[in-house]
Chain A
Amino acid sequence: DAGVTQSPTHLIKTRGQQVTLRCSPKSGHDTVSWYQQALGQGPQFIFQYYEEEERQRGNFPDRFSGHQFPNYSSELNVNALLLGDSALYLCASSLFTGSSGANVLTFGAGSRLTVL
């Protein structure tokens, strides 16, 4: 049973560059959420995608954008990278059940982004 897969696992960028991170949800899941986890901190919610639309967004600037494809996979794009964007980016998937609060998230191992 394939869980959530993320790529790349590690990457290094310089300030001002753009980055794209990818996520394939767990088989049977249709909803993808993205989280940013800075060193020593808990994950912070970036946004969530369902039916190829952004459904909810956390407190992140427009430099952070995303996309969901018909096969439910998702991308996270970050433009104009800042040093403070260095973090572990986690993707989580779930199945929309129509009953809020009942769905358990399955997390991937994350993509470690370092901005120099």
Chain B
Amino acid sequence: KQEVTQIPAALSVPEGENLVLNCSFTDSAIYNLQWFRQDPGKGLTSLLLIQSSQREQTSGRLNASLDKSSGRSTLYIAASQPGDSATYLCAVRGTKHMYSGGGADGLTFGKGTHLIIQP
């Protein structure tokens, strides 16, 4: 059974700092790994998706890396801003096909890292 762990559970840093969020997973047989952002009481916003064949993805101030063999991913946030305050969730999609021709497997999420950027 796939398990996803995120460290730290909570993080509070001053504005402007660069920071790293960590995600680890127990089963390396994944199709992809995705980082999401969740604001309080809201749904999830996809930030970055890394396919299993890729090593990293970048979007603006965000950079996500993937080391599938070691079961690890990191989300790097550069020059943090108060608007970055949210919970960041890591999720992996396994390789099990649910029906012929492929199709989406359920995602396995970590519990998230609650990030606070102090103005």
Which residues on the A side are within 8 Å of B42 (C-beta)? 109-110
**Is the Cβ of B46 less than 8 Å from the Cβ of A106?**
yes
Which residues on the A side are within 8 Å of B43 (C-beta)? 4, 90, 107-110
Of A40, A55, A110, the residue contacting B98 (CB under 8 A) is A55
The bracket for how many chain B residues form the interface is 20 to 34
B107 within 8 A of partner (CB): yes
**Is the Cβ of B104 less than 8 Å from the Cβ of A100?**
yes
In the bound complex, CA of A25 to CA of B95 (Å): 24
B119 within 8 A of partner (CB): no
**Is the Cβ of A42 less than 8 Å from the Cβ of B111?**
yes
Of B36, B91, B99, B107, the residue contacting A55 (CB under 8 A) is B99
Which residues of B pack against A, CB within 8 Å? Answer: 4, 31-32, 34, 36, 41-46, 49, 51-52, 89, 91, 93, 95, 97-99, 101-112
Sample of 9 more A-B contacts, CB < 8 Å, known A43-B44, A43-B107:
A55-B98, A56-B106, A58-B106, A90-B44, A100-B105, A101-B32, A101-B105, A109-B43, A110-B43
